[in-house]
């Protein structure tokens, strides 16, 4: 029970209050003296660090500001949280006691993140900033068919603390720097993915080794394409200014085995864009195109291979017989450059075909397919790239013979690569390639001779037919002359 006899006396309360007041005055005096000394003896940035430490030590947080950066904003991931998490993984100092380490299969580097309640101190433009990760577990109640259950849900957020007078610098300069830095880190460590677009299936990491350095392609055409890609990714403001969607279309055409798929992989590796392989045969209606465009991420390549034979596109002028249950050419054209095509940025659309002449002219016009790239048969320069890739050779005494044969023949890069892979011994591999090319040359001669014989036969038949026609006309002429003499 409460007892009046246990209450402190008025004298004791006043004495304690006096002591507390005196202590507070003493602390303020000390802080003031420290501030005066630091103002006189130390640089401004060092002054702020000392005063910040003194303020935190004395429990005086009035000079501090803390920003709360939550993991999600509603149902949408918070870009600032993700960027902060990536950035802080690169500034872990020895003073930090606990960090989390992870690494996905075939990723280049370890992923480092800070642990719960761990503090990291960052310095930017002489200003000290203190980061701390907070995690709270809550239980979420679920009701399914009358049965109640709960699951653990983690709420995460970063607390960023600093002196109040640096608020504008943090918001206007520091956080934008963190966003840009994290973006650069993501690009450096990014693993390109290959995803089916229009059919079921999960994304897989694409570790295709093709690059522009290893691609057996005409050097001038290769450089022209690289320049076009560089110009495309640097022109965000340009596309916005001229009122066009930020996208680019490429048509790759040529015989099978000339490297169309390898070129797509090389573009993805060069730009670090994800690839979406679009299966038109899995689509049921034109409305599916909109779903696909929305599901594709920015900075990606949308690929439709063998466009001339993937599906039978209904003619866009088909009239009343078309229905929404059909995939039409008009639907595909709207997918490429209609209103829905502008719902993403930095996208590349690639069509491939073995037979360019079979495509509807509407697919080929600028704005849909901006650049037409012919993937031709292998050239001497392409062969040298393949020899360097597969055998590590820059030159060899047998190159001249091989290059002369390649100039005479229609041989694909895939055929040459297949021969070079037979042996690691350069002489054996090159001899095998020469034998393969000579055999191909003999086959060409046989085919050409057969064609020449056919042409000779056709020419002989044409001569015989022509001779018969001449004789027939002469016979008709003589009979006509005799008839006229009888009449007159």
What are the tens digits of pLDDT across the range 56-82? 444 455 688 999 999 888 767 788 998
State yes or no: pLDDT of 475 exceeds 70: no
Average pLDDT, the chain: 79
- Give me the mean pLDDT over the 372-376 stretch: 93
In a domain, residue 225? The reply is yes
Same domain, 233 and 164: no
In a domain, residue 470? The reply is no
Share of the chain above pLDDT 90, in %: 36
Of 427, 443, 459, the last residue of a domain is 443
pLDDT value at residue 29: 58
In a domain, residue 96? The reply is yes
pLDDT value at residue 297: 80
Same domain, 143 and 229: no
pLDDT value at residue 30: 58
Query: What does the alpha-carbon distance between residue 56 and residue 379 come to, in Å, rounded to a whole number?
Result: 72
pLDDT value at residue 62: 66
Query: What does the alpha-carbon distance between residue 209 and residue 194 come to, in Å, rounded to a whole number?
Result: 14
pLDDT value at residue 77: 78
Give the predicted TM-score (pTM) of the model.
0.63
In a domain, residue 453? The reply is no
Same domain, 88 and 226: no
Note the pLDDT tens digit of each residue in 341-360. 677 788 999 999 998 988 88
pLDDT value at residue 435: 96
Same domain, 249 and 215: yes
Same domain, 355 and 244: yes
pLDDT value at residue 8: 56
331-335 long-range contacts (CB < 8 A, ≥24 apart) are 331/285, 331/286, 331/289, 332/280, 332/289, 332/363, 333/362, 333/363, 333/368, 334/286, 334/289, 335/289, 335/292, 335/293
Same domain, 112 and 252: no
- Total structural domains within the chain: 3
pLDDT value at residue 373: 95
In a domain, residue 21? The reply is no
pLDDT value at residue 159: 93
In a domain, residue 120? The reply is yes
- Residue scoring higher pLDDT (411 or 330): 411
In a domain, residue 48? The reply is no
- Residue scoring higher pLDDT (9 or 265): 265
Same domain, 139 and 210: no
Phi, psi of 130 (to 5 degrees): -110, 120
pLDDT value at residue 16: 54
State yes or no: pLDDT of 402 exceeds 90: yes
- Residue scoring higher pLDDT (187 or 180): 180
pLDDT value at residue 317: 47
Note the pLDDT tens digit of each residue in 285-341. 777 777 777 777 888 999 988 887 765 555 444 444 445 557 777 778 777 776 766
Note the pLDDT tens digit of each residue in 195-252. 887 655 677 888 888 999 999 998 999 999 999 999 999 998 998 899 888 989 999 9
Domain encompassing residue 402: 385-443
DSSP 159: E
Same domain, 307 and 208: yes
Q: Are 229 and 344 in contact (CB under 8 A)?
A: no
Which of 26-40, 330-344, 454-468 bottoms out in mean pLDDT, i.e. has the lowest? Answer: 26-40
Most confident of 44-58, 320-334, 406-420: 406-420
pLDDT value at residue 96: 67
**Partners of residue 121 on adjacent β-strands:** 130
pLDDT value at residue 488: 41
Which of 33-47, 169-183, 266-280, 361-375 bottoms out in mean pLDDT, i.e. has the lowest? Answer: 33-47
Which of 293-302, 303-312, 363-372, 478-487 bottoms out in mean pLDDT, i.e. has the lowest? Answer: 478-487
Same domain, 153 and 211: no
Whole-angstrom CA distances from 376 to 145, 257, 455 are: 63, 9, 28
Within 10 angstroms of residue 80's Cβ, the number of other Cβ atoms is 19
Q: Are 181 and 87 in contact (CB under 8 A)?
A: yes
Residues 6+ apart with CB under 8 A from 263: 210, 215, 217, 252, 373, 375
Query: What does the alpha-carbon distance between residue 463 and residue 237 come to, in Å, rounded to a whole number?
Result: 68
Dihedral of CA atoms 419, 423, 424, 428 in degrees, nearest 10, equals -90
> Scanning the structure block, which residue is given the tokens 């003296």?
33
Note the pLDDT tens digit of each residue in 82-96. 899 888 888 866 666
> Scanning the structure block, which residue is given the tokens 């696909």?
292
Same domain, 139 and 100: yes
Note the pLDDT tens digit of each residue in 96-120. 667 677 666 656 666 667 778 788 8
Q: Report which of 423, 413, 343 is spatially closest to residue 382, judged by C-alpha positions.
A: 413
Q: How far does CA 198 lie from the centroid of its chain?
A: 18
In a domain, residue 461? The reply is no
pLDDT value at residue 59: 46
pLDDT value at residue 241: 92
pLDDT value at residue 73: 80
pLDDT value at residue 454: 82
State yes or no: pLDDT of 371 exceeds 80: yes
Most confident of 91-95, 133-137, 384-388, 446-450: 384-388
State yes or no: pLDDT of 479 exceeds 50: yes
Within 10 angstroms of residue 309's Cβ, the number of other Cβ atoms is 11
Query: What does the alpha-carbon distance between residue 47 and residue 127 come to, in Å, rounded to a whole number?
Result: 11
* CATH code, domain carrying 342: 3.40.50.300
Same domain, 145 and 72: yes
Same domain, 219 and 334: yes
Which of 40-44, 100-104, 433-437 bottoms out in mean pLDDT, i.e. has the lowest? Answer: 40-44
pLDDT value at residue 13: 47
By the 10 Å C-beta count (0-12 exposed, 13-18 middle, 19+ buried), 449 is classed as exposed
């Amino acid at each position: 029970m409460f007892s009046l006899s246990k209450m402190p006396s008025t004298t004791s309360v006043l004495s304690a209050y006096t002591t507390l007041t005196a202590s507070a005055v003493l602390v303020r005096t000390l802080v003031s003296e420290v501030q005066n000394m630091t103002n006189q003896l130390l640089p401004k940035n060092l002054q702020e660090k000392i005063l910040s430490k003194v303020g935190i030590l004395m429990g005086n947080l009035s000079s501090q500001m803390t920003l709360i950066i939550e993991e999600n904003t509603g149902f949408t991931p918070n870009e600032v949280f993700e960027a902060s998490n990536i950035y802080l993984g690169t500034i872990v100092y020895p003073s930090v006691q606990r960090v989390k380490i992870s690494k996905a299969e075939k990723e280049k580097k370890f992923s480092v993140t800070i642990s719960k309640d761990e503090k990291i101190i960052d310095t930017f433009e002489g200003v000290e900033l203190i980061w701390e990760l907070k995690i709270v577990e809550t239980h979420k109640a679920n009701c399914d068919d009358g049965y109640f259950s709960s699951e653990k849900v983690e709420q995460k957020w970063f607390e960023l603390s600093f002196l109040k007078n640096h608020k504008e610098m943090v918001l206007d300069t520091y956080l934008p720097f963190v966003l840009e830095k994290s973006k650069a880190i993501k690009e450096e460590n990014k693993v390109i993915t290959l995803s089916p677009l229009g059919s079921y299936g999960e994304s897989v990491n694409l570790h295709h080794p093709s690059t522009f350095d290893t691609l057996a392609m005409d050097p001038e055409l290769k450089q022209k394409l690289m320049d076009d890609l560089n110009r495309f990714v640097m022109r965000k403001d340009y596309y916005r200014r001229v009122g066009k969607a930020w996208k680019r279309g490429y048509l790759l055409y040529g015989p099978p085995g000339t490297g169309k798929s390898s070129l797509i992989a090389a573009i993805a590796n060069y730009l670090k864009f994800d690839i979406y392989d679009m299966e038109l045969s899995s689509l049921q209606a034109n409305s599916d195109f909109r779903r696909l465009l929305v599901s594709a991420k920015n900075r990606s390549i949308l690929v439709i291979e063998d466009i001339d034979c993937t599906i039978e596109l209904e003619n866009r002028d088909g009239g009343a017989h078309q229905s929404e249950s059909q995939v039409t050419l008009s639907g595909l054209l709207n997918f490429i450059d209609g209103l829905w095509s502008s719902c993403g940025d930095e996208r590349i659309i690639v069509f491939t075909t073995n037979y360019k002449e079979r495509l509807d002219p509407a697919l080929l016009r600028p704005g849909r397919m901006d650049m037409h790239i012919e993937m031709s048969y292998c050239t001497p320069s392409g062969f040298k790239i393949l020899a360097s890739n597969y055998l590590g050779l820059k030159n060899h005494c047998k190159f001249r013979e091989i290059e002369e044969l390649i100039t005479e023949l229609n041989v694909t890069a895939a055929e040459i690569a297949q021969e070079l892979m037979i042996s690691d011994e350069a002489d054996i591999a090159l001899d095998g390639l020469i034998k393969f090319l000579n055999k191909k040359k003999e086959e060409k001669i046989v085919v050409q001779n057969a064609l020449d014989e056919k042409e000779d036969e056709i020419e002989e038949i044409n001569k015989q037919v022509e001779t018969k026609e001449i004789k027939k006309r002469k016979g008709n002429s003589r009979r006509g002359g005799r008839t006229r003499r009888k009449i007159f």
